């Protein structure tokens, strides 16, 4: 009876040992603005990958991190609720990135940030 259990454990070990782990890139955004924003990642075709589908507070002075779940190129996008400015698209990226969103609803920026 012990042999089948041992054999099963060996099969499980080898089956999981050789399965590659997919790690995605991390897109981090520091939020320094008054208002609500939406931050998300898209693929090269413009399809949603990860991040916010709804607006959230961006005045929390915190970092928001998005795991792309893939090692493929991606774009980082931002929009502020109530702003007349268009959605800002940054990329393509094939590495971890850090950005900063700051300002007011009517005058905001979305630029690279060195302190992540």
How many domains is the chain partitioned into structurally? Answer: 1
For 40-54, the pLDDT digits (tens) are 999 999 999 999 999
For 48-98, the pLDDT digits (tens) are 999 999 999 998 888 999 999 999 999 999 999 999 999 999 999 999 999
Q: What is the CATH number of the domain that holds 64?
A: 2.60.40
Question: 71 lies in a domain?
Answer: yes
Binned at pLDDT 50, 70 and 90, residue 17 comes out as low
Task: Write the secondary structure of 10-77 as one string of H (helix), E (strand) and C (coil).
Answer: HHHHHHHHCCCCCCCCEEEEEEEECCEEEEEEECCCCCEEEECCCCEECCCCCEEEEECCCCCCEEEE
Domain that holds residue 92: 22-112
Question: 88 lies in a domain?
Answer: yes
Q: What is the model's pTM?
A: 0.79
Question: 70 lies in a domain?
Answer: yes
């Amino acid at each position: 009876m012990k042999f089948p259990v041992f054999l099963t454990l060996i099969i499980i070990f080898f089956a999981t040992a050789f399965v590659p782990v997919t790690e995605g890139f991390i897109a981090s955004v520091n939020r320094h603005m008054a208002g609500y924003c939406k931050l998300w990642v898209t693929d090269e075709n413009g399809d949603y990958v990860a991040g916010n589908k709804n607006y959230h507070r961006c005045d929390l002075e915190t970092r928001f991190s998005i795991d792309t779940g893939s090692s493929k190129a991606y774009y980082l996008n931002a929009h502020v609720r109530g702003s007349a400015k268009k959605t800002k698209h940054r990329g393509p990226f094939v590495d971890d990135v850090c950005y900063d969103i700051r300002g007011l609803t009517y005058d905001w920026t979305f630029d690279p940030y060195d302190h992540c």
